[in-house]
Structure 1
Amino acid sequence: MSDSQWEPRVGPTQRTTYLLGGRRVRVSDLLRAGLLRPGARLRFVRRRVGETYHAEIIENGRIRLPDGQEFSSPSGAAMAAAGMRAVDGWLAWTVEENGRPLDALRQELLDRAAAGPPDEPGVEGFDRRVHQRLREARQRAEENQPEQFSVRELLSLWGAKDRGDQIGRIEDDLANHGLVTSPSFRKVTLDSTVRLVVASGDTDDSPAAAAGPVTVAGPADDLDDDPIGLTVGNLPSALGGLKHVAPNATFDEAITKMLLNGYSQLAVLNGPRNLRGAVTWQSIAHARHADPNAKLTDAIDPEAVAVRYDRELIDVLPDLRRGGYVFVRAEDNVVAGIVTTADVVQAYGEMAMPFFQIGELDRSLRRIITRRVDLDQVGKLCNRSVNSFDDLSMGDYLRVLDDTSVWSTLGWPLDRRTFIDRLHEIRHIRNDVMHFNPDPPPPDTIDKLRKVNSLLRHYGELA
């Protein structure tokens, strides 16, 4: 088939199946929409190093390099072609025929979906309000006026209160508009301020950089490899500001700042990015014991560690174990905060408590059902084959206990509907906890879990 004969494969019942709500746009979507054709040639120019790379779109929506390698994502192809660690391929690759970046075609696709009928097949879940808001944010980022919000305010655009099960949808919507947050909204606290900027893994070479918008290295389309664990920046003190002294400060100044702020250690900075070390009560005592005429420079511990805010917390634990604290560098390398062993104990404690409470709840509900319902009846109520009571999920507990005949056998002087409604709330809490949400649970979460467990301990003996 020649280029001139090619037509998009869009039938009467498949007009807009190129776009599904809640996922990232793919090259294959552009093909189905007629915005790109098989055989189209792509070009990736790195002006700073004077190199140009080529690729071709093949019929299944993959990108083929001259050496035969094929990739499903533009970023994967761009990184392999240029030997780069990170680059947003949607911004890097342009169509040779018309000079349009793949990103521009992606934006046209999204605009089409936004302009079409709300009930058009294929756009279920596509939020036109979010699309328009991010479209405006992209324009401001390209004008070097990036919008900034607290993470909490950003999440509210999607109706989310924390970084729970909607985080994938949020990142997909941002990626579809070529945006990331700076710093990463995953890796700081809910009240931290982030900017919406254009994504680029190589700001000197990308087409976006040539046009001048604010850019930042970030996840490249479907190649997001962000950690899912707790990061240093998720702790409130990590980027919460830092009291410090200069190397030529006096003991009196350092001691006064430590006493007024309740610190056991104090950063010694020679400029916001130059960490000389730290002074501690122990280092001050040692210096003065060794020499009554010692100066503050004699008490500086040069081994003080500074880590980036986006480091996974578990990787920093050895440093915390050795020194009891680490200083934290923000995205711009400024020493912006401190994390101590006490901060980590509190953070892991907040995360662990819901696990313990949910574990107790799970065991209590399973024990109650095991005592009152046979396995065959459980299978019928759950509408599936159940080989063991240990196979039951929270959803199964709800189905079983919501059955009026099962409820009557418990003999509890409780309202079934009210109890089941509370278990539905607990189910959502459980899902959030089990997805390792980095945000502390709402204040009433632990209280709800404790009260349900207390009730089950009391009435469970009657079952």
Structure 2
Amino acid sequence: MRAWTIRGGSQGEREAIALDQGLVIAGWKEVGNLSACKSLDDVGALVKETYPDAAPGTLTSWKHQLWRFLTMDIGDLVVMPRKFQQIVAIGQLTGPYEYRADQPPGSRHVRTANWRVRDLDRAAIKGDLRDSMGAYLTISELTRREAVQRVTTLVEEGHDPGYTGAVEPPTDPDALETDVAEAGTRQLTARDLIGLWGWSRRTPGVTEMVDQELAVRNLTVEPHFNSVRLDDLVTVSSVSDESEATDEGPEPEPTLSSQSSSGDSFKKTPADQDLGWRIGTLPFARNVTTITIDGELGLAYSHMVESDFSQLPVVDRNGRARGVVTWQSIARAKLTGRGDTVAEVTDRNAPTAREHEELFSRIQDLRRHGFLVIVDADHVVTGVLTASDIADQLKLRIEPFTLLEEVELRLRRALSRFNRADLPARTKNILENNKQITLGEYRHVFQDSDLWKQLNWPFDQQNFLDRLDVVKKFRDSVAHWDVDAPEAESSAVETTRQLLRLLQLVA
């Protein structure tokens, strides 16, 4: 058994027909009968004949989607996200491909299905599976992270058991493109995505380069790899939204005009992405303890006292945020003669935020409340960001700069012990032109055997130079405040500390 996502039209126009008549419908109203197509190339020829002016990337996407529709097996699961609603329908294919020429355009490519669940709350689906269902494609396959078993459990039990295993990345950018073409989507971590092009940190230059590479391949990524932690999952798919022919012609609808079913007004193209810091890049608490709105108040007290929580998110049965319990909200309720239930002590005006939001736009809320409840597109609680998290992050980002500053200060002090005439010519030239000596330049000084002997330092010269090389490289990598905090290079930070300890003894 396999599992597929099949959308009901750019405006959900096919959803009612599909559910009422027990069908899944592919759209592509201009394309004729596909019954004679025996291969992907056959479908491609028919699509190209129908849309001679369409871009090659668009034709490739459409032929793969229609071939998926033709080759799905009876018994496969199909998921139809409902447009502008926070629910999905899940069915099971019961019949082969049919072309119904007597039906209205856009409803002719069909397969029969038994819709076993018609209104499953999207919030019942874990975020990673929900993201893979949210691809900008009409037809895509749900392949990795035990998707089939999880969709089956959603049908039978109404909840998603989730998946905690690793995700093996593609071997290179071409493999990523192939995976998206074949399945419609490909999930991988942000770290693995930039790693396909040989990078480990998300500097502004790396972000721009990867965005450009994705655009050349007609790929998009949600959420943007710059707005999540390095080890969080992102979903890569074709850049087209509702990738089928529209009433206006063969070109897919522009991404910016597509309103998402999860409530976002617009989706951004890579070129629109702000390169600033996002909430999602911070290491806040993500396995967060919550209490349901109809839960036991005593349980809320226990969680807060035992774990020393200042706040406890309140959710509905599917994990959607309904407010927060704080010691202040408990006190306010008690002072007004209430406070016997979770609902009565809940502060329903608690601040919430999405991971893609700019960090500094929410600093005032953090100062005022001391926390932000982090929610996803369906308002499901995914974490809590506290003022303490910001303080810890500030230390991580500032400490490397203070270490490097003191290292350079002490190296400069050591340099002043030499007669300028004894220094290497390039170093003298820099000093004579009143320019700053760089960490790389200090190596030329300390590798000179005569100068090293003058210092009379009780260190091994080569070991010192090796440390200096690591610190120099680290200094170059943190010259800008990148998305990723310097703890991503913890070994380099430790080497910097070690070099500083040595210099503190002698300079």
Pairwise TM-score range, normalised by the shorter structure: 0.5 to 0.7
1:407 equivalent in structure 2: 452
- CA change 1:336–1:435 in 2 (3 A) is same
Write the letter of the residue equivalent to 1:173: E
Q: What residue in structure 2 maps to residue 152 of structure 1?
A: 191
**Counterpart for residue 196 of structure 1:** 236
Query: RMSD of the TM alignment (CA)?
Result: 3.8
Q: CA deviation at 1:358?
A: 0.8
Query: After the TM superposition, which residues 357-372 of structure 1 pair with which residues of structure 2 at under 5 Å, given as runs?
Result: 357-372=403-418
Q: Deviation per CA, 1:205-258, whole angstroms, max 9, x where unpaired?
A: 8945699xxx994444xx3542233x21112336x2443233333321322333
**1:289-339 per-position Cα deviation (integer Å, ceiling 9, x unaligned):** 432664333322222111110122222211111001001122554332110
> Aligned partners of 1:237 and 1:374: how far apart in 2?
51
Aligned 8 A contact 2:464 2:499 in 1: no
Query: Counterparts of 2:406 and 2:307 in 1: how far apart (Å)?
Result: 40
- Deviation track 1:159-216 (CA, whole Å, cap 9, x = no partner) reads 44443575444333323222233222222122212211233589898945699xxx99
In the alignment, which residue of structure 1 is the partner of 2:438? Answer: 393
Q: Indicate how the Cα distance of structure 1 residues 201 and 419 shifts in structure 2: closer, same or farther if over 3 A, else same.
A: farther
Per-residue CA deviations over 1:107-141 (Å, capped at 9, x if unaligned) read: 9xxxxxxxxxxxxxxxxxxxx9734223213314x
Aligned residue number for residue 420 of structure 1: 465
Q: 1:423 to 1:135 in 2, by over 3 A?
A: same
**After the TM superposition, which of the residue ranges 318-327 and 400-409 deviates more from structure 2?**
400-409
Q: Is the 8 A contact 2:315 2:322 kept in 1?
A: yes
Q: Secondary structure at the match of 2:294?
A: coil
Give 3-state SS (helix, strand or coil) of 1:371's partner. coil
Structure 1 residues 131 and 244: CA distance shift in structure 2, 3 A: closer
- 1:57-206 correspondence runs (5 A): 99-101=53-55, 130-140=172-182, 143-144=183-184, 146-163=185-202, 166-199=206-239
- Give, in angstroms, the shift of residue 378 of structure 1: 5.9
**447-456 or 261-270, larger mean C-alpha shift:** 261-270
1:302 equivalent among 348, 351, 359: 348
2:491 corresponds to 1:444 = yes
Return the offset for 1:272: 5.1
1:228 aligned to which of 276, 282, 286: 276
The alpha-carbon distance between structure 1 residues 286 and 332, as it changes in their structure 2 partners (threshold 3 A), is: closer
Q: Is this contact kept in 2: 1:201–1:218, CA < 8 A?
A: no
| TM-score normalised by the chain length of structure 1 | 0.62
Equivalent residue number for residue 152 of structure 2: none
* TM-score using structure 2 length: 0.57
Tell me: CA distance 1:272–1:187, structure 2 relative to 1, closer, same or farther (3 Å).
farther
Counterpart CA distance in 2 for 1:333 and 1:176 is 33
- What is the DSSP-based 3-state SS (H/G/I as helix, E as strand, rest coil) of the residue aligned with 2:227? coil
Give the Cα separation in 1 of the matches to 2:473 and 2:367. 35
Give aligned pairs, total.
Answer: 335
In the alignment, which residue of structure 2 is the partner of 1:285?
331
Tell me the secondary structure at the aligned position of residue 388 of structure 2. helix
Of 361, 364, 367 in structure 2, the residue corresponding to residue 321 of structure 1 is 367
1:312 alignment partner, one of 352, 358, 366: 358
Query: 2:504 maps to what in 1?
Result: 457
Identity fraction in percent:
26
Distance 1:375 1:190, change over 3 A: farther
Summarize the Cα distance change of 1:334–1:383 in structure 2 as closer, same or farther, 3 Å threshold.
Answer: farther
| Paired amino acid for 1:236 | P
Q: Separation in 1 of the partners of 2:240 and 2:404? A: 41
1:121 alignment partner in structure 2: none
Give yes or no for contact 2:242–2:252 (8 Å, CA) kept in 1: no
Aligned residue identity for 2:457: W
The structure-2 alpha-carbon separation of the partners of 1:228 and 1:370, relative to structure 1 and needing over 3 Å to count, comes to farther
Contact 1:149-1:193 at 8 Å conserved across structures:
yes
Are the counterparts in 2 of residues 237 and 337 from structure 1 also a CA contact under 8 Å? yes
Contact 1:137/1:196, CA 8 A, preserved across alignment: no
Q: Find the aligned partners of 2:240 and 2:308 in 1 and give their Cα distance.
A: 42
**Alpha-carbon distance, 1:423 to partner:** 1.1
Preserved CA contact (<8 Å) 1:147 1:196: yes
Instruction: Determine if contact 1:189/1:233 at 8 Å carries over to the other structure.
Output: yes
Aligned amino acid, residue 99 of structure 1? D
SS in 1 for 2:309: coil
- How far 1:354 moved relative to its partner? 0.8
Residue aligning to 2:81: none
What does 1:339-354 align with in structure 2 at a 5 Å threshold? 339-354=385-400
Distance 1:106 1:139, change over 3 A: closer
CA distance in 1, matches of 2:230, 2:358: 17
Tell me how far apart the structure 1 counterparts of residues 308 and 457 of structure 2 sit (CA, whole Å). Answer: 52
Decide which of 431, 438, 448 is 2:476's aligned counterpart: 431
Answer yes or no: is the 8 Å Cα contact 2:352–2:375 preserved in 1.
Answer: yes
Paired AA for residue 187 in structure 1: S
Q: State the shift of 1:384 in Å.
A: 5.9
SS at match of 1:186: coil
The 1:381/1:309 distance shift into structure 2, 3 A limit, reads same
**Contact map agreement 2:176 2:186 (CA 8 A) in 1:** no
Partner of 2:321: 275
* Partner Cα separation in structure 2 for residue 166 and residue 427 of structure 1: 20
Distance 1:365 1:139, change over 3 A: same
CA distance in 1, matches of 2:60, 2:415: 52
- Residue 275 of structure 1 contacts residue 335 of structure 1 at CA under 8 Å; is this kept in 2? yes
Q: CA deviation at 1:401?
A: 2.7
Query: Which letter maps to 2:468?
Result: L
Which AA in structure 2 matches 1:163? Answer: R
Q: 1:149 to 1:262 in 2, by over 3 A?
A: farther
> Structure 1 CA distance, aligned partners of 2:338 and 2:381?
31
1:198–1:208 contact (8 Å) kept in structure 2: no
Q: Match for 1:133: what amino acid?
A: A
The letter of the residue matching 1:198 is S
Structure 1 counterpart SS, 2:362: helix
Which ranges in structure 1 are unaligned for 5 or more consecutive residues?
Answer: 1-46, 49-96, 108-127
